[in-house]
């Protein structure tokens, strides 16, 4: 029997849910109550489970903690896991992303932070080093801030030394040398909130994901616009046809089957609610050529949005799909989104969810 | 000189469980030197109170006597003999 762990980061704490069948869930008491949890990483690559959590207090700032016993105890390095070097004159405001790298780089974990910065750990997330190539990028002074803050919110490691990052606002950047140099990769992605033709960078890309079968194929949910790139991010084309809206924050890719992706549309920039007040996930099994609405088990009335990291997939078979709303409801699907069950309700607004089948 | 310091109850888990301490520091004592002394013993406490640039976090206040140090000389504010220093969270959070 396998156990699946679902970590739910909210505006006021972290909840951990476990399930043997991904339909009936046991919910923990809150961890870090009254502190924001914008990021969680679950690392199961080495045959053990490490939970990494970005915690942020309104009063006392951000930190990163980790647990190797499913939250029974937490470790916080005395010096802090993520700290800007003194010469930068910068301070971390929020840790937006904690992303384990691939199985063949077992100690490597990436972090994306506010202010816009990317970090790399080689000790399973206990300590991180600033990726100087991006921090020193000449574009940095021109990157802007979305409503939530200026952050590198998506870090998508690829094969070899390729990593894609998405930031708001700045768009997609790619390194092919492990972080030493970065190039904007936004050709074809719109930026309707700026005058003139779409710029080389400055887009507000909300989330990106990499295809499981073709690592040069990526998907993006933009601040209006849903896109696919078949050339490692060099160019992007719209795959929004068939969706009720091209606005939203979520982009999920199947972890092992190419061409399958999920989005959670919202009406528009100026109307950030599910279309018709009905929450639905939309899945494509052909890389965005066609879409199918999935909402069995989701509420008939839901006017809360799903934020960019408040949706995830696990690596089960079939793959599990999870989402949490700003109204504090959390849903799980054990069948790739065909049907959902209610995991928890009336939590604080959900900022992130991450799930893993435990080793 | 002995400086009495009150610490936030919310940070007791990273200040050895204490909400008040008395520090014996060479005069003159600045608020920055006082926080440095606390940091040596309680580094996580220090990260809660100051960011990595050394600045006081926005919603943390330090009072020397009855005055908040941002209205004085910030972390360079000197602590007069016999005056209590209070570190406390300000009004924030939803």
In a domain, residue B48? The reply is yes
Question: Could you report the predicted ipTM of this complex, rounded to two decimals?
Answer: 0.94
A17-28: average pLDDT: 98
Question: What pLDDT was estimated at residue A145?
Answer: 84
Supply φ then ψ for residue A304, to 5 degrees.
-95, 145
Give chain A positions within 8 Å (CB) of B47: 61, 63, 80
pLDDT at A153 over 80: yes
The per-residue pLDDT for range A174-220, each reduced to its tens digit, is: 999 999 999 999 999 999 888 888 899 999 999 999 999 999 999 99
The shortest C-alpha distance from B82 to chain A (Å) reads 28
pLDDT category at A148 given cuts 50, 70, 90 is: confident
Q: Which of A54-68, A144-158, A279-293, A308-322 has the lowest mean pLDDT?
A: A144-158
| C-alpha span between A216 and A158 (Å, rounded) | 9
> Mean pLDDT, chain A, as a whole number?
97
Q: Which chain B residue has its CA at the smallest distance from A87's CA? A: B53
Question: What pLDDT was estimated at residue B91?
Answer: 81
Question: What pLDDT was estimated at residue A1?
Answer: 79
Taking the whole predicted model, whether its pTM rises above 0.90 is answered as yes
Comparing CB atoms, the residue among A34, A61, A76 nearest residue B51 is A61
Would you call the peptide bond into B28 cis, given omega within 30 degrees of 0 as the criterion?
yes
Question: What pLDDT was estimated at residue B93?
Answer: 66
Contact B52 A83 (CB under 8 A): yes
The shortest C-alpha distance from B85 to chain A (Å) reads 18
Question: What pLDDT was estimated at residue B94?
Answer: 67
In a domain, residue B39? The reply is yes
Give yes or no for B13 touching A (CB within 8 A): no
| C-alpha span between A108 and A88 (Å, rounded) | 24
The residues with which A220 forms a beta bridge, in sequence order, are A208, A227
Number of domains in chain B: 1
We report the CATH number of the domain holding residue A24 as 2.130.10.10
Residue range of the domain that includes A295? 4-357
Q: Which chain B residue has its CA at the smallest distance from A93's CA? A: B51
pLDDT category at A106 given cuts 50, 70, 90 is: very high
Residue range of the domain that includes B28? 2-89
Question: What pLDDT was estimated at residue B41?
Answer: 96
Contact B51 A58 (CB under 8 A): no
Testing the interface with A: which of B7, B10, B47, B90 to mutate, by most A Cβ within 10 A? B47
Residue A141 CB contacts under 8 Å (≥ 6 apart), including other chains: none
pLDDT at A123 over 80: yes
Comparing CB atoms, the residue among A60, A90, A92 nearest residue B11 is A60
Residue A239 CB contacts under 8 Å (≥ 6 apart), including other chains: A219, A226, A227, A228, A284, A287, A288, A289
Q: Which chain B residue has its CA at the smallest distance from A85's CA? A: B52
We report the CATH number of the domain holding residue B27 as 3.10.20.30
| C-alpha span between B23 and B38 (Å, rounded) | 8
Question: What pLDDT was estimated at residue A146?
Answer: 76
Q: A18: which DSSP letter?
A: E
Contact A92 B52 (CB under 8 A): yes
Number of domains in chain A: 1
In a domain, residue B94? The reply is no
Percentage of chain A lying above the pLDDT 90 cut: 94
Output the CA torsion B36→A34→A118→B56 (10° steps). Answer: -30
The per-residue pLDDT for range A314-338, each reduced to its tens digit, is: 999 999 999 999 999 999 999 999 9
Q: Which residues of chain B have pLDDT under 50?
A: none
Question: What pLDDT was estimated at residue A74?
Answer: 98
The per-residue pLDDT for range A227-271, each reduced to its tens digit, is: 999 999 999 999 999 999 999 999 999 999 999 999 999 999 999
């Amino acid at each position: 029997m396998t156990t699946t762990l679902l970590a739910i980061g909210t505006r006021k704490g972290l909840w951990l849910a476990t399930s043997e069948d991904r339909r009936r869930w046991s919910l923990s008491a809150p961890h870090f109550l009254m502190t924001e949890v914008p990021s969680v990483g679950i690392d199961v690559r080495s045959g053990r489970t490490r939970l990494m959590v970005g915690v942020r207090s309104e009063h006392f700032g951000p930190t990163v903690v980790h647990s190797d016993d499913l939250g029974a105890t937490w470790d916080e390095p005395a010096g802090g896991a993520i700290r800007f070097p003194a010469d930068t004159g910068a301070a971390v405001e929020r840790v937006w992303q904690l992303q384990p790298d691939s199985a063949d780089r077992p100690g490597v974990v990436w972090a994306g932070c506010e202010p816009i910065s990317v970090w790399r750990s080689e000790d399973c997330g206990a300590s991180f080093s600033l990726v100087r190539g991006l921090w020193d990028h000449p574009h940095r002074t021109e990157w802007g801030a979305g409503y939530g803050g200026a952050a590198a919110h998506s870090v998508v490691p690829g094969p070899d030394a390729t990593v894609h990052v998405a930031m708001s606002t700045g768009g997609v950047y790619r390194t092919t040398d492990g972080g030493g140099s970065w190039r904007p990769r936004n050709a074809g992605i719109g930026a309707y909130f700026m005058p003139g033709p779409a710029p080389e960078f400055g887009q507000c890309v909300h989330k990106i994901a990499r295809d499981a079968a073709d690592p040069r194929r990526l998907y993006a949910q933009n601040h209006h616009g849903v896109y696919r790139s078949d050339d490692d991010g060099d160019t992007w084309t719209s795959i929004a046809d068939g969706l009720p809206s091209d606005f939203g924050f979520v982009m999920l890719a199947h972890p092992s089957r190419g061409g399958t992706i999920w989005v959670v549309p919202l009406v528009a920039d100026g109307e950030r609610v599910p279309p018709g007040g009905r929450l639905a996930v939309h899945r494509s099994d052909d890389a965005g050529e066609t879409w199918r609405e999935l909402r069995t088990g989701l509420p008939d009335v839901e006017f809360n949005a799903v934020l960019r990291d408040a949706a995830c997939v696990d690596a089960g078979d079939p793959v599990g799909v999870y989402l949490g709303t700003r109204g504090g409801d959390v849903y799980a699907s054990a069948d790739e989104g065909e049907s959902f069950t209610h995991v928890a309700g009336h939590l604080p607004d959900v900022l992130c969810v991450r799930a893993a089948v435990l080793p | 000189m002995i400086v009495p310091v009150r610490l936030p109850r919310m940070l007791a888990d990273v200040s050895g469980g204490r909400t008040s301490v008395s520090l014996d520091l060479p005069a003159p004592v600045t608020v920055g030197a006082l926080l440095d002394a606390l940091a040596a013993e309680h580094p996580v406490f220090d990260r809660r109170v100051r960011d990595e640039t050394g600045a006081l976090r926005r919603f943390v206040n330090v009072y020397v006597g009855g005055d908040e140090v941002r209205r004085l000389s910030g972390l360079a504010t000197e602590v007069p003999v016999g005056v209590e220093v209070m570190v406390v969270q300000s009004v924030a959070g939803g």
